[in-house]
Amino acid sequence: MPGYELIGKEEQEYLMDIFNTSNGVLFPHGFDALRNNRYRVREFEKKFAAKMGAQYAQAVTSGTVAQVVAMLAMGVKPGDEVITQAFTFVATVETIIAIGAVPVIVDVDDSYNMDPNELEKAITSKTKLIVPVHMLGNTAAMDEIMSIAAKHKIAVLEDSCEALGASYKGKFAGTIGRVGIYSLDFGKTITTGEGGMIVTDDENIYKYCKEYHDHGHESNPAFPRGRDTRTMAGMNYRMNEMQGAVGMAQLEKLDTIVAANRKNKTYLEQYIQSDKITFRKLTDASGDLSDTLIFNFGTEAEALKFVELYKVAGYGTKNIPDAIDWHFAGTWNHMFADVPRYCDTWKTEWQRSADLLYRSVALPINVKTTTEALAEHVKVINQILDQI
């Protein structure tokens, strides 16, 4: 997820343009004359939507907030059940709890994403929304998930925070369900420092997101902002112009980032040789974001041994296992204390996911790695695998 690796003069130029042509107006709305009618966040949204092939894009302050706003726009109410998966970042579930809905969490399969069979078993008359998460760049099994959702007439919100630039059967992650959300935090494919984006083709959902994230402002062109019309109360989750400017420079680098990821991951996969590991199953290998290489061993002890030797060699893992406590529901005692469904059972609920995750290792793929460095990396990995 290496947008930060390429931050450079393009981002600086876009930022300086705010000061050179818009008198430093950092607010995304109003001050029309002072800013010379230049609006970076609005431009970023338009370009982002066009790039993704979506009708609408709404910028917000984080991927977490993107999920809150999107769920409210999709009509999720307190008491509704929202189905998501056991391997995800805490935010996916925190947000469901925060709006008073009930998280229903299902196991992942060997794609490390939502198991469609478990999804179908979890559907009840209270299910309002399905949130598959495209973890670490590999899309969930969207054909199966979309057909289950259609059969039960339930909407799908794709958590694409970790998959901006990945695609599934020719469509970008985030544009298959009714709504898609992305994170633009500092670790993601492209970054605005912090930030999020919501995309949809549904005009009503977009309208809700646009108004809710901006205190209910309708941005009615017939009135100045101080007299703007409104029909709902909202919040302030607005992105600022500096983020919009950096976002535009980063968006122009998206294709380069994804191409470099894919080249580097292909190299590693090609030269890592061992019958002790199984690579993660990819739902669409050609669409994989390729910013992470995941494989699993037969036992947890073997995975731990790999990580120990890998660390001695000067390398680190990505989320699995170093940050597994933030990504596996079976460790979230802090979150489930007030969730009756899981408060007593969280430790033992997702055994299939636990079994897979604790035998697994995820390695980061970077954009700027040289071929020499990749060759050295492969050598180290193969030597460690020989010792296991």
Q: Are 165 and 53 in contact (CB under 8 A)?
A: no
Q: Min. distance of Cβ 159 from ligand PLP in angstroms?
A: 5
Per rule CB under 6 A, is residue 291 in the interface with ligand PLP? Answer: no
Reading the block at residue 7, the tokens are: 């931050």
Which residues from 163-202 bind ligand PLP, rule CB under 6 A? 183, 185, 196
Out of 118, 159, 211, 228, point to the residue binding ligand PLP (CB under 6 A): 159
9, 169, 188, 276: the active-site residue: 188
Minimum separation from the CB atom of position 62 to ligand PLP (A): 3
Sign of CA dihedral 18, 24, 27, 33: negative
* C-beta pairs of 18-27 under 8 Å, 24+ apart in sequence: 18/241, 18/242, 18/245, 22/241, 25/241, 26/240, 26/241, 26/242, 27/240, 27/241
Q: Using the rule CB under 6 A, give the single segment among 62-70, 246-254, 271-279, 302-310 that binds ligand PLP.
A: 62-70
d(CA 6, CA 366): 11
Cα distance between residue 59 and residue 236, in whole Å: 12
For the question of residue 51 being annotated catalytic, the response is no
Q: CA 52 to CA 174: how far, in whole Å? A: 8
Residue type, 366: N
CA distances from 285 to 109, 114, 162, 167, 261 (A): 16, 17, 16, 9, 13
- Is residue 133 within the footprint of ligand PLP (CB under 6 A)? yes
Q: Is 62 in the site for ligand PLP (CB under 6 A)?
A: yes
241 binds ligand PLP (CB under 6 A): no
Nearer to ligand PLP, 89 or 297 (CB): 89
- Tell whether residue 84 is a contact of ligand PLP (CB under 6 A): no
- C-alpha–C-alpha distance, residues 276 and 299, integer Å: 10
Phi, psi torsion values for 191, nearest 5 degrees: -135, 145
Is residue 157 a contact point for ligand PLP (CB under 6 A)?
no
Nearest-5° angle of CA 12, CA 18, CA 24?
125
CA-to-CA distance for 268 and 382, rounded, in angstroms? Answer: 10
Q: Which of 145, 149, 161, 381 binds ligand PLP (CB under 6 A)?
A: 161
The correct pick among 2, 3, 28, 63 for binding ligand PLP (CB under 6 A) is: 63
Q: Is 353 in the site for ligand PLP (CB under 6 A)?
A: no
Q: Which stretch binds ligand PLP (CB under 6 A): 43-51, 56-64, 340-348, 349-357?
A: 56-64
Q: Which residue is nearest to ligand PLP (CB)?
A: 63
243 sits near ligand PLP (criterion: CB under 6 A): no
Closest CB to ligand PLP among 97 and 380? 97
Residue 199 or 385 with smaller CB distance to ligand PLP = 199
The footprint of ligand PLP (CB under 6 A) covers 62-64, 88-89, 91-92, 133, 159, 161-162, 183, 185, 196
Which residues are known catalytic residues?
188
